[in-house]
Amino acid sequence: MNKSSEKPKQPEKLGVDEYECPICKDTELVLKRDEQGYEIASFCECRERKAWKRRFKQALIPDEFIHANFENYKRLNPFQQTMYQMTVDYLNEFSVLKQEDGTKKKIIPNKNFGLIAVFGEQRLKELPIGERSIVKQQHNNFGIGKTHLQIALAKRLIKDGFNVLIVSDVTFMDELIQAKMMNDEGETLNRLLHSAIHADVLVWDDIGKAKWSEAKEALYYQIINERYRKQKPIVFNSNEDRGTLSEKIGYAAASRLIGQCGPYLLEVEGEDFRLQKSG
């Protein structure tokens, strides 16, 4: 039932079964008469469900992580346990308060949450080849569930009513650069920047993965600094460490990003879950 490809119909002409919600005919409002006979509008019961669906769609959850949640994250060793616990602690910083007038107030922490490497990719590349594989094994940061846990976090927040945007570094930076070169007076770029800056929570997967350029460094700064000024949180993970992340996204951006983590910055390493499964 894909209505978007058809010409818009007059709502009156749709049959009852063509509406997702027959009660309100998808207006999300229902009219009732009060004792004096006046019509008053109130929200339909489907409103919350639809809002949740919309938020879920808008969040852009990658296909690979459709099933990722807290329940199916295995905690078999201390590092998995620590990562899991910090993610849950961070989740608990959020809450939704029901106010006297019936509206809800979202409580959002002004802290960022980062899972980064002990020994960053960039640093690894600078080592002589022989040493590289040893250090790589000692400090593996790949496939240890950083994205899994942060997507699980995002899903919970979406369910609780927060607007979450998930971006993946390489794709997102490419999109921004392309938008910058478009001949549309900055419209596309501004739209992308606006959603990244205004989402309640921005989840930035694999930050610092994209190849460095001056234009990208300016974009990292713009988004991170704007969110910093607005006290809006960024949830991020990276294969870089404190030092090398600065090299990839710029010192000014990295210092705000990391500085704003408070207790929620964890240097993580462990066994690659992807290799365990195949081996």
Ligand X SMILES: Nc1ncnc2c1ncn2[C@@H]1O[C@H](COP(=O)(O)OP(=O)(O)OP(=O)(O)O)[C@@H](O)[C@H]1O
CB atoms within 10 A of CB 114: 26
Cβ pair 208, 115 in contact under 8 A: no
For ligand X, which is the closer residue by CB, 228 or 264? 264
Q: Which does 68 bind (CB under 5 to 8 A by kind): Mg ion, ligand X, Zn ion, none?
A: ligand X
Half-sphere exposure at residue 169, Cβ-oriented, CA atoms within 13 angstroms:
22
* Spatial distance between the Cα atoms of 53 and 262, rounded to a whole number of angstroms: 32
Task: Kindly tell me which residue out of 52, 56, 70, 73 binds ligand X, with binding defined by CB under 6 A.
Answer: 73
Sign of CA dihedral 17, 18, 19, 24: negative
Which of ligand X, Zn ion, Mg ion, none does 23 bind, CB closer than 5 to 8 A by kind? Zn ion
Residue nearest to ligand X (CB): 145
> What is the C-alpha R_g of the chain?
22
Q: 3-class secondary structure for 103-141?
A: CEEEECCCCCEEEECCCCHHHHHCCCHHHHHHHHHHCCC
Could you tell me which stretch among 26-34, 35-43, 141-149, 182-190 binds ligand X (CB under 6 A)?
141-149
> Which residue in the set 55, 111, 148, 227 belongs to the binding site for ligand X (CB under 6 A)?
148
- Residue closer to Zn ion by CB (options 24, 203) is 24
Q: How far is it, in rounded angstroms, from Cα 171 to Cα 205?
A: 10
Tell me if 244 contacts ligand X by CB under 6 A.
no
| DSSP bridge partners of 30 | 42
Which residue in 19, 70, 79, 142 binds ligand X (CB under 6 A)?
142
For residue 118, give both structure tokens: 């002990």
User: Can you tell me which residue has the tokens 């997102």?
Assistant: 172
Exactly one of 46, 61, 80, 111 binds ligand X (CB under 6 A); that residue is 80
**Among 74, 132, 191, 229, which residue sits at the site for ligand X (rule: CB under 6 A)?**
74
Q: Site mask, ligand X, residues 171-210, x = CB under 6 A? A: -----------------------------------x----
Q: How far is the CB of 10 from ligand X (least distance, A)?
A: 46
Interface with ligand X, residue 239, by CB under 6 A: yes
The pair of three-digit structure tokens given for residue 55, joined into one six-digit string: 């938020």
| Partner interacting with residue 46 (select from ligand X, Mg ion, Zn ion, none; CB below 5-8 Å by kind) | Zn ion
- CB nearer to ligand X: give 80 or 197: 80
Q: Which residues bind Zn ion (CB under 5 A)?
A: 21, 23-24, 44, 46
Who contacts 154 (Cβ-Cβ below 8 Å, separation ≥6)?
Answer: 59, 61, 164, 166, 201, 203, 235
Of 142-201, which residues contact Mg ion (CB under 5 A)? 147
- For ligand X, the binding residues (CB under 6 A) are 68, 72-74, 80, 142-148, 206, 239, 273-274
